Structure 1
Amino acid sequence: MRATTAFNKMLAIPGAHVVGVCFGAEGIEVSLRARARRLRCACGWSTRAVYDRSVRRWRHLDLGACKLMLSAQIRRLRCRPCGRVVTEQVPWARPGARFTRDFEDVVAWLAQRMDKTNITRLLRCSWESVASIVARVVADHLDDHRLDEVYRIGVDEVSYRKGHRYLSVVADHGRDGAVLWVGEGKSGATFQGFFDELGPERAAQLEAVSMDLTGAWPKVCAANAPQAQVCADPFHVIKLANAAVDAVRRDQWNTARRTGGKIRRNARGRVNTDPAAQLVKKTRWALLKDPAAWTEHQAAQIAALRRARHVLFRAWALKEELRDLYRLPPGKPADAHLDGWLAWAARCRIPAMIELARTIRTHRGTILAAVELGLSNSKLEGLNSKIRLINHRGYGHHSAAAVIAMIYLCCSGLTIELPTGR
């Protein structure tokens, strides 16, 4: 069997046949000849007129331990719709790529499962090549139809680099939190970019959007999808309550230290012997944790605060009552529970909790909507953990675009088919 015949059968390059095989010190180079006579631009326009010709090489999947390169004479054409001279599109490689589709698909499949450094060692290519391949594969597979039939979404920010570098992530609640869109930054202008891509027709189909209480996102959502119900994420609501309780704890501790009795030194450092200070000391985690997860010592700390009728216990009880809003039994109205909590917080005489009540009252409608619809950003918080793992796996990325491409590749439900599975 001739070498060209054998390589034709082994490689099965679409749209071309093997006309020559050269074995060299750096590997194997296979010469191809395209079957198509018409030149086709990436935009879809085709012609027979040739502007000029040149030879181009593409890296293909290795043949054993040998690097395999494909070479072919590529023609350029003057594309009328594009208004410029472009290189013809070939079926075995993506536009502008110096790697074949099979090679790039294998790289993308591996990038979903391992770090880029090990991919470079396995496939003998550069780290920058892996990043550019991921971007090309994502652009090729990411379909605008992913934004069709989207009714309930969640939006959250995630830090991808030190120096307050954030990404805004939009996920679909109806598809198990699959990523729909990612943008650089966390401003209202960034979120507006999602609605620009979504379009007014699809934005009109939105029913609910879960998000953080702060920032410009609610205003952007109201401007682009006024019919969509904004839902305050329960995690951020309880986070505000925990911050208020911790502010009370710090205030009580500082007051006890200023007005306490004598202070003695021992092997463990400076200790305040005042009973009021001892009640507050080391209660932070007991106040913030779920009571079901308390240790015996933490349960004893809260019990001591309760016996002393300490202001810190009242702040903690207010926080737990707010948490109960998200654990109501069936049939109990959420609005009555929240209104009762607001009335209690308004007369508690604890400044931090009164300020919390003002914030909760401002967002009362969005908080109740989240309870009634059962929406939260819990899936997005899990998604954020996966994004941080992706970023850590790559030991950081040189740009936001590189991180965004990896997020789309790993978290948007893209399926990369290996050449062996076709």
Structure 2
Amino acid sequence: MKRILTQLLNLPEVVVESSIEEDLILFLTVSKKAKSAVCPQCGKKSEHLHQNQKYLVKDLPMGDFEVILNVNRRRFKCKICRKTFNEELDFVGARKGYTHRYAENIVKQLINSNISNVAKNNGLTDEEVNSMLEDIAKNVLPIDVSNLKRLGIDEISLVKGQGKFIVVLVDIDSGKLIGLVKERKQIEIENVMKKWGKEVLEQIEEVSMDLTGNYKNLVHKICPNALVTVDRFHVTKIIHEELNQARIAEKKTASSLNVELREKVFDSLKGNKYTILKAEENLTEKQKEKLDIIREASPLIGMMHSLKEEFRNLFDRSEDLGAGMLGLIDWLKKAEPYYQKSVKTIKRWFGEVVGYFERKTTNGVVEGINNKLKLIKRSGFGFRNFRNFEIRALLSWHYNINLAR
């Protein structure tokens, strides 16, 4: 029976010495197979048992049985240096009431839930679950950024409707989250990035960001060799926003037209936001028919749509910096009467926008990470504790629960 339980327990170099069943709880007294331990002071093996120290540790369940290990962490005395020491137990941390794999299982549950639910489902307190989360995090944090070359910076809302944003830092080449900053203040971002060390900051070649303007000066300040580029996604986004605002304005203007024209314009524009924003080549036949109706009913929207498509094609087809820059200059001249706000913003960020044509860096990976962060946030029913959210987010990219010990 002890041999079978030892096999079922499946802890390397650990044997079950005895067992007791009580109210669906299985108590297993366990110890290491080895009769000796290595002295941490002098590195010599010792078989001189000084003391037995037993304590209870929670482990993964076996079927319907909760498993509690009565662990014997033996204390030895070294005959060489005369020091006493505790043997190393790979499966449980010092002064911890649970095994490593039990903590990993709890953290795995947290990916799709929240601390309170996980604690309740496992008969734990919120504090115990939080402690396990912190323990697992010690294996991962701080994140290794020694190979960071291209950095993506973006932001998401942590608490919806409260204007509370956090900054997201991403290694574009690895496609992984490498940091979160609890506020958009430059000093907060600077403090987080400086922890990476001067050598890492100096090796960063490119930083891709949106058009907020809050981070450009900071990057120039602490990443002296980095080229700042603006992702085409964010440039396209401001053009889409201005086009949609024009669509809404056209609907309002239609009210002053005669009944026939008013209905024609209003009906063509109503509910067709994505018809005019979606890439024309990806439209269905029905959507293309709607687009033709929109162009006929509103020449303004028709022209703005054509300019939007021209802008997209410019970024898709430009093969080098020179061609892209000349194409963008030409587009800005034609678009200025129609996209005044967008043109003004692009001109202000011209150098950073054309940087895309040279390096073709896209923030698509950052957007993907942002979407995953939002899922983590929703699964936790929102996070008011930034540290809790930060750990869970970083573990999602840097801790493989299936490969953990």
Q: TM-score, normalised by structure 2?
A: 0.78
Q: Distance in 2 between matches of 1:335 and 1:60?
A: 62
Q: Give per-residue Cα distances to partners, 1:63-106, cap 9 Å, x unaligned.
A: 4433222346889xxxxxxxxxxx99964433564211121133
8 Å CA contact 2:169–2:178 kept in 1: the answer is yes
Q: Which residue pairs with 1:164 in the alignment?
A: 163
Q: Distance in 2 between matches of 1:125 and 1:141?
A: 24
- Which of 299, 315, 319 is residue 310 of structure 1 equivalent to? 299
Q: Is 1:255 the counterpart of 2:253 in the alignment?
A: yes
8 Å CA contact 2:17–2:29 kept in 1: the answer is yes
Change in 2 beyond 3 A, CA 1:62/1:252: closer
Q: Which residue pairs with 1:340 in the alignment?
A: 330
8 Å CA contact 1:15–1:91 kept in 2: the answer is no
Change in 2 beyond 3 A, CA 1:248/1:204: same
Change in 2 beyond 3 A, CA 1:308/1:73: closer
8 Å CA contact 1:60–1:100 kept in 2: the answer is yes
Change in 2 beyond 3 A, CA 1:8/1:143: farther
Q: Distance in 1 between matches of 2:271 and 2:64?
A: 62
Q: Distance in 1 between matches of 2:287 and 2:147?
A: 48
Q: Which residue pairs with 1:46 in the alignment?
A: none
Q: Which residue pairs with 1:80 in the alignment?
A: none
* Map 1:245-284 → 2, pairs under 5 A: 245-257=243-255, 259-261=256-258, 273=262, 277=266, 280-284=269-273
Change in 2 beyond 3 A, CA 1:153/1:95: farther
Q: Which residue pairs with 1:368 in the alignment?
A: 354
8 Å CA contact 1:105–1:417 kept in 2: the answer is no
Which amino acid in 1 is paired with 2:207? V
Q: TM-score, normalised by structure 1?
A: 0.75
Which amino acid in 2 is paired with 1:299? K
Q: Is 1:323 the counterpart of 2:308 in the alignment?
A: no
User: Which range moves more in the overlay, 22-31 or 96-105?
Assistant: 22-31
Q: Distance in 2 between matches of 1:60 and 1:274?
A: 70
Compute the displacement of 1:231 (Å).
1.3
Q: Which residue pairs with 1:69 in the alignment?
A: 68
Q: Is 1:386 the counterpart of 2:394 in the alignment?
A: no
Q: Distance in 2 between matches of 1:376 and 1:251?
A: 32
Secondary structure at the residue paired with 1:209? Answer: strand
Q: Which residue pairs with 1:396 in the alignment?
A: 382
Change in 2 beyond 3 A, CA 1:296/1:129: same
Compute the displacement of 1:128 (Å).
5.4
8 Å CA contact 1:152–1:173 kept in 2: the answer is yes
Secondary structure at the residue paired with 2:258? Answer: coil
8 Å CA contact 2:210–2:234 kept in 1: the answer is yes
Compute the displacement of 1:300 (Å).
3.6
- Which of 152, 155, 164 is residue 153 of structure 2 equivalent to? 155
Secondary structure at the residue paired with 1:216? Answer: coil
Secondary structure at the residue paired with 2:236? Answer: helix
Compute the displacement of 1:384 (Å).
1.8
Change in 2 beyond 3 A, CA 1:417/1:95: farther
Q: Give per-residue Cα distances to partners, 1:190-217, cap 9 Å, x unaligned.
A: 4223312211111100011111110412
* Map 1:33-48 → 2, pairs under 5 A: none
Which runs of 5 or more structure 2 residues have no equivalent in the other structure?
A: 42-51, 75-85
Secondary structure at the residue paired with 2:203? Answer: coil
Change in 2 beyond 3 A, CA 1:253/1:273: closer
Q: Distance in 2 between matches of 1:328 and 1:418?
A: 43
Compute the displacement of 1:60 (Å).
1.7
Change in 2 beyond 3 A, CA 1:38/1:71: farther
Change in 2 beyond 3 A, CA 1:343/1:126: same
Percentage of pairs with the same residue: 22
- Which of 179, 185, 209 is residue 211 of structure 1 equivalent to? 209
